[in-house]
Homo-oligomer: A and B are copies of this chain.
């Protein structure tokens, strides 16, 4: 039992890996929040896509008018998809990066910049802020992932 626990927790004892775990959990929870934002706009704007979702507003023709798109719902959905497109590479490349033996301070810089940039990106998308607010926050996150990929390829390269 003790041996098994020790084995299972050795990665999580590593400081870089602990930092990766913390920031990855935060950005993935932030991405999950987008589902709630979309649901909030769907309910308050009464804009649904599935006929079975409008039954609470009455059956048949009277509910059909709620099967429509709404600008706020679509905006939240675009923010969610943009998260998927950017947070997936961060998690995949970030895991490999955390295992490639970077300095803790360098790793923390990468993880903090990415997480801050993606939180800013969400606010820039939802408020919305004038450009280049959203574009710049996107570019920071993108560059961080690129930088980690470079370190991974330099360390692991085996084609």
Chain A positions near chain B (C-beta within 8 angstroms): 4-5, 7-19, 21-26, 28-29, 31-32, 34-35, 49-50, 52-53, 55-56, 75, 78, 80-81, 84-89, 91-93, 95-96, 98-101, 112, 128-131, 134, 142, 145-146, 149, 152-153, 155-159
Contact = CB atoms under 8 A, between A and B. Distances in A.
Given A99-B8, A134-B52, A93 B153 contact: no
A110 to B, nearest CB: 14
Given A8-B99, A99-B11, A88 B88 contact: yes
In the complex, the count of this chain's copies comes to 3
A49 to B, nearest CB: 7
Contacts of A25: 93, 96, 149, 152-153, 156
A156 B11 CA distance: 10
A144 to B, nearest CB: 12
A87 B85 CA distance: 11
B84 A32 contact: no
B157 A12 contact: no
Contact of A56 (B52, B129, B131): B131
Question: Which of A23, A31, A50, A157 is the most central at the interface, judged by chain B CB atoms within 10 Å of its CB?
Answer: A50
